[in-house]
Amino acid sequence: MLNYTQSILFAVAAVAGSLLFMALLNRIWPRENRREHTDQIGWQLSVLGTTYAVILGFMLYAVWTDFGIAEANADLEGNALVNIYRLAEGLPDQQRVQLQELTRRYADAAINQDWPQMAVNQVPSGTAGINADMWKTLMSVKAASPTEITAEDHALSELSTLTRHRRTRLLQSMSRLPMVLWWVLLVGGGVTIASSCLFGSANKALHTLQVFAFSLLIAMALTAIADINRPFQGSIHVSNHSFIQALQNMPGP
């Protein structure tokens, strides 16, 4: 997870480091002396570049897919909460009032407690007790009419769905790429950029531009992976909009 400033600084540092490495390499091993190795360097860069491109593309796809799943899960959790609120209308008066009040409290806790806690890498706890109280309220229903029996049955199903999505959200808030994969990405990027600096090009300006563009592209891809790797943290994160909208659809007494 990175904020916008950190992402920009990382990209600038990666590009500057690449250009500095090329400048030092040219002093230690002049480009004129490397031209005879151009064919070998080109073959090496082709293999490295292709391999790293596959790894980078797969990692970016994986974290973006996980981000989309987390976003959809949060929406489904908010939808289940609204459904419980509406199904409470068919319950006896005591449980109806209690359950509708608990659904509003759940939405408020998700917005004002869970999301801020997840943003700082803490396990969200605001909705845990409320979820338990919702189960107690539904299990205390003594349904008499067919309408109440149907409402209770559907409300229990929606509450089970809500609980499942909440548990999934907690797991997603703590998920991250394993450190070994970050080593693969960072070391692979460094080796690939270093290989591009080895060319003994006769056109110094063109070679510099190529290294600049190559390192910038890799740095941007890495920052994108870092930004969306933790779906509930950083500058790009799953919004709590579904709970804000749910709260708007659950008017108070």
The average pLDDT across 154-158 equals 95
Q: Residue 175's closest CA among 7, 1, 39, 45?
A: 1
Residue 68, C-beta contacts closer than 8 angstroms, at least 6 positions apart: none
pLDDT bucket at 2, cuts 50 / 70 / 90: low
Torsion of the alpha carbons at 109, 113, 116 and 117, rounded to the nearest 10? -130
What are the tens digits of pLDDT across the range 6-38?
Answer: 888 889 999 999 999 999 988 888 877 777 777
Q: Rounded to 5 degrees, what are φ and ψ at 128?
A: -65, -55
pLDDT of residue 171: 92
Confidence of residue 166 (pLDDT cuts 50, 70, 90): very high
pLDDT single digits (tens) 46-95 = 888 899 999 999 999 999 999 999 999 999 999 999 999 999 999 998 99
User: Which pLDDT band, with edges at 50, 70 and 90, does 130 fall under?
Assistant: very high
Q: Is the pLDDT of residue 43 over 80?
A: no
- The 3-class SS string of 188-229 reads HHHHHHHHHHCCCCCCHHHHHHHHHHHHHHHHHHHHHHHHHH
- Report pTM: 0.86
pLDDT of 1 over the 70 cut: no
